Chain A
């Protein structure tokens, strides 16, 4: 028995058990439910902190249970897994707080928080998965546990959005399953390894390997919203704001992006993937998605839809960084996994505040809103600047490493794509900021705030905190345990070629 077993199971259980219990809690027992939720979130955070410390000091955590003959259920907490786990746990705590404030007084909260916890469990499972089968299990579980959150509003539009979400993600799941079984029938193992596990196959299997690569990428690409598999994401915007925040910043899209990292680096190994000639088309696809998502975002008047297309564009940075297949670009892509999460969740929190406090859903209604909600819009501004890549917000650091890595790998065209994307980001974010800060409110202006704060404190603090974190992640990029430092640690530990 490895000492890591207990802690790995506890990390999963700290959200799974509260989730299951919450299903059974009566709707009106708010205090009990809130306590359970927060207890789970805090316990998870403490456990994750423990593991971070351990892994940084060379400890390894692994849990292995026999599932099928020759195929185990494996959880492993390496530096890469912990990057995603930490992001999910931190943002889970904040989103839970936010959701408590956001859903105050709305029906079916037990159901909501139950599935919310399941969703986080699945995300953490995706991160910790030690082989492709375990990854697949949690990946599908994530699909299933997010569906009730998407249809939570119980309207016809929500039902349709849920339907489209399932059509996309389950089809993706089928492709992932096909690729996984096929790969297993060739290699007889699915264990993630730092250099991949397909190098022993001889050249006659290259055709099959290329097909498998695209099957797997298409499978995870649905969640990562790679063009043309991104259609579900803007539609899923009918969900309540905490769900959109979670979907777009942490759980779903990042699970897809994380899958791409795993597949390129730990299933195929970056060198084999480059030999197979699949990384360049993937980089091209990601680059196209970046520009396409930004272009579409330019023409959305609905705030959440604009943010959704922005996500389509930004998540592909991660895929791009991985597909460039150079160590520095990969650092950029991986660190963007965290940075984009922090910035995008801020933006969605703010959009939720606008909707919940002032019933504003469209950008054209946002004139002068900065004066009524200064802190909210301040956080929004900071995050938007980060998205554009202005220093010293976190987005700058990601773009910096991506650009540098692309030059180092001799892929100069990527720099142009980044430049184009920055321009487009500025073009769709700055008008929003201009409206909010510098235009006079239409009509009589907004109703004054009821209490001491501009809105409920549970709604106000999470975006302010995440905005501060995204500023901190950029400004203090070199302090120990900053996302960048941790990603460089990953680079030293798990990937070849970075020192």
Chain B
């Protein structure tokens, strides 16, 4: 049976370790040999996809792949774990990462590219490691690494605004990690382990677990920029170079969210006492949608508008927390929708930021009212922005629509009219701010502006990501089972 043999041989490869080590090695190499940084960076970014496919085939059909680094398993050693949930996030990272890398290759001048490639590969490695970690402390370490890389990338553009934004971001991310670490310490004290599997068995409802949840939740909410902890996000995302903004909005905020999802689904949700926390997170999510969209609507600049849109979209991700199934467990349908939204939002938001970068490069500014007939001069960029915006606003036939439909359906089945109303209102506001910009694409500005050439690749990558977000809306039949297992498996593991 050659097929079986080859499959088992594939499964035996340590895909997960490769997925972490390759970017990290690449980062070091790119740092050491700046001249080869570009091919290394592109190669490693592109290499993520075949490796991920390999990992996917290995994971398919199992309920998660565990891999003890160096042969030492839990509770002592470092354990990696790959299951459908991590695959969702890893795939998002690989897709968006590749698009952004292609874009950045044309975007950065050589002096900046020299710094960008090592930092980006470092960030990629940290993200992959985060999504593959199986214990709380490793999660903390990778979270910290990711935060530092992200801050460094934010400051890459130089200039006063970028540095201020980066500084604020640094403080927020450090504070968030610290609070999270406190929670981890508390849990360790209570249970004597940091491994997810063991924690699931030992954790009991009580003041310790409740405090730990509170601390970790608050820290991660801060890093995810959940309202009202979003203060750091708009300045940082708006002032960073366009590819970096795309990475931050599409991937980095999702990493801390990933940890929160893991904690919630595997550890805390089965403890009945946490329902109130879920309600609070849901409320904050609703507030984020309304506040973020409203602020986005009022922004005079494209990048700030897109950054506030991220604040609003993060709100949607938190709407699954208050939804519980009849048994008091997390509602699988709602979580499936949220994971779908993570992917859709990452693709669309990256496309939007890249398109905004094109506009900025083209006109030298991103003031909305002064966008000068760009529809005629940058048709691809305009198409990318509009398509991504349509997905963000949750209009059919895009990925955003499917996610919103699934979430609406879950909320309606539980009679949560407050969530439904906020979601619909948020969609309307999102359409409002997207088309506020799109409307100005067509009209001439009061004063003519000096226009600069935008490389074709920058336009095409933005459009490519936007088209992916669009195609996502046609593919739920293929992808949804995967998302189902991504939700069901961690919960099943928690129940055992």
Contacts and interface: CB of A to CB of B under 8 A. Distances in A.
Given A137-B396, A140-B395, A181-B405, A159 B477 contact: no
Contacts of B432: 167
B413 A185 contact: yes
A174 B428 contact: yes
B395 A65 contact: no
Interface in A61-103: 65-69
Interface stretch (A3-11, A148-156, A240-248, A432-440): A148-156
B443 interface: yes
A339 interface: no
Interface in B405-457: 405-406, 408-409, 412-413, 420, 424, 427-428, 431-432, 435-436, 438-440, 442-444
B60 interface: no
Contacts of A159: 439-440, 442-443
Nearest to B443: A159
Contact of B439 (A23, A141, A162): A162
A369 interface: no
Contacts of B402: 68
B439 A68 contact: no
B412 A68 contact: no
B443 A156 contact: yes
A147 interface: yes
Interface string A94-120: 000000000000011001000000000
Given A171-B428, A174-B427, A66 B435 contact: no
Nearest to A175: B424
Given A68-B405, A154-B443, A173-B395, A144 B420 contact: no
A83 B386 CA distance: 33
Contacts of B443: 151, 154-156, 158-159
A147 B375 CA distance: 13
A182 interface: yes
A323 interface: no
Interface in A229-263: none
A136 B379 contact: no
B442 A154 contact: yes
Contacts of B409: 181, 184-185
A488 B64 CA distance: 61
B424 A67 contact: no
B397 interface: yes
Given A170-B431, A171-B428, A173-B395, A111 B444 contact: no
Contact of B376 (A108, A136, A181): A108
Contacts of A60: none
Interface in A129-143: 136-137, 140-141, 143
A136 B435 contact: no
B54 interface: no
Contacts of B477: 65-68
Contacts of B412: 181-182, 185
Contact of B420 (A140, A143, A163, A178): A178
A166 interface: yes
A170 B428 contact: yes
A141 B439 CA distance: 17
A273 interface: no
A184 to B, nearest CB: 7
A170 B409 CA distance: 20
Nearest to B413: A185
A235 to B, nearest CB: 14
A384 interface: no
A465 to B, nearest CB: 32
A177 interface: yes
Contacts of A147: 435, 438
A66 B393 CA distance: 23
B480 A166 contact: no
Nearest to B414: A185
B373 interface: yes
A107 B375 CA distance: 12
A189 B431 CA distance: 28
Contact of B442 (A67, A69, A151): A151
Given A67-B476, A137-B397, A154-B444, A144 B390 contact: yes
Contacts of B480: 68-69
Nearest to B406: A68
A141 B396 contact: yes
A462 to B, nearest CB: 27
Interface in B444-474: 444
Contacts of B413: 185
A147 B437 CA distance: 13
A66 B478 CA distance: 9
B143 to A, nearest CB: 34
Nearest to B438: A147
Nearest to A125: B397
A185 B412 CA distance: 7
A177 B396 CA distance: 10
B376 A177 contact: no
A369 B393 CA distance: 48
Contact of A166 (B396, B405, B435): B435
Of residues B401, B402, B431, which shows the largest number of chain A Cβ atoms within 10 Å of its Cβ? B431
Interface in A37-75: 65-69
A162 B408 CA distance: 28
B490 to A, nearest CB: 20
Interface string B244-287: 00000000000000000000000000000000000000000000
A69 B480 CA distance: 8
A140 B396 contact: yes
Contacts of B439: 151, 159, 162-163
A134 to B, nearest CB: 10
B442 A177 contact: no
Contacts of A140: 395-397, 401
Contacts of A154: 373, 375, 442-444
Nearest to B408: A181
Contacts of B431: 166, 170
A63 to B, nearest CB: 14
Nearest to B376: A108
A158 B443 CA distance: 9
Contacts of A137: 396-397
A424 to B, nearest CB: 35
A390 to B, nearest CB: 42
Contacts of B396: 136-137, 140-141
Contacts of B436: 163
A182 B408 CA distance: 9
A111 B379 contact: yes
A392 to B, nearest CB: 43
A163 B424 contact: no
A159 B432 CA distance: 13
A110 B402 CA distance: 31
A184 B390 CA distance: 23
Nearest to A110: B379
Given A140-B395, A140-B396, A174 B440 contact: no
Given A137-B397, A170-B428, A182-B412, A163 B435 contact: yes
Nearest to B425: A174
Nearest to B478: A66
A237 B424 CA distance: 29
Given A67-B477, A159-B443, 16 more contacts: A23-B379, A66-B477, A68-B477, A137-B396, A140-B397, A140-B401, A148-B442, A151-B439, A154-B443, A156-B443, A162-B442, A171-B428, A174-B427, A177-B427, A181-B405, A184-B409
Interface of B: 373, 375-376, 379, 390, 393, 395-397, 401-402, 405-406, 408-409, 412-413, 420, 424, 427-428, 431-432, 435-436, 438-440, 442-444, 476-477, 480
13 contacts: A23-B379, A68-B480, A111-B375, A147-B438, A148-B442, A154-B373, A154-B443, A156-B443, A159-B439, A159-B440, A159-B442, A171-B428, A177-B408
Q: 4 tightest A-B contacts by CB? A: A66-B477, A185-B412, A137-B396, A181-B408
